[in-house]
Amino acid sequence: SDMPVAAREASIYTGITIAEYFRDMGYDVAVLADSTSRWAEALREMSGRLEEMPGEEGYPAYLASRIAQFYERAGVVACLGSDARMGSITAIGAVSPPGGDTSEPVSQATMRIV
């Protein structure tokens, strides 16, 4: 991707936060994460630049936690201010592992969550 690393990392959080805003207004929202693999690569690059302890295949040790946090923000909620108002987020993430190898950390962490 041509986007700077920090923008690639922040984009998924920005998208889900905007989705939460509309969910809280009572809408049903779909969030499509084009490539969680590219997002994870951005996490790996940022982690390396910050000299954090690497985990499996150089990804940050908290990779599985961040993937879980993204998917856990999806679901149905009762909105504040009105008992009858409900909103939801459907999160769809596409994992594109290099060479189709689903044994790599991003695929494995995603399959444990979804």
pTM of the model: 0.87
Which residue ranges make up each domain of the chain?
Answer: 5-113
How high is the mean pLDDT of the chain? 91
Architecture of domain 5-113: 3-Layer(aba) Sandwich (3.40)
Give the strands of the sheet with 75-78, arranged side by side. 28-33, 86-93, 75-78
Q: What is the pLDDT of residue 83?
A: 74
Percent share of the chain, pLDDT over 90 = 68
Given this model, what pLDDT does residue 8 score?
Answer: 86
pLDDT at residue 1 tops 70: no
Task: Write out 26-69 in H/E/C secondary structure.
Answer: CCEEEEEECCHHHHHHHHHHHHHHCCCCECHHHCECCHHHHHHH
Could you give the CA distance from residue 63 to residue 58 in angstroms, rounded to a whole number? Answer: 10
How long is the chain? 114
pLDDT at 93 (0 to 100): 92
Res 12 pLDDT > 80? yes
The residue assigned the tokens 């908290």 is 62
Residues 51-83: pLDDT tens digits? 989 998 989 999 999 999 999 999 999 988 777
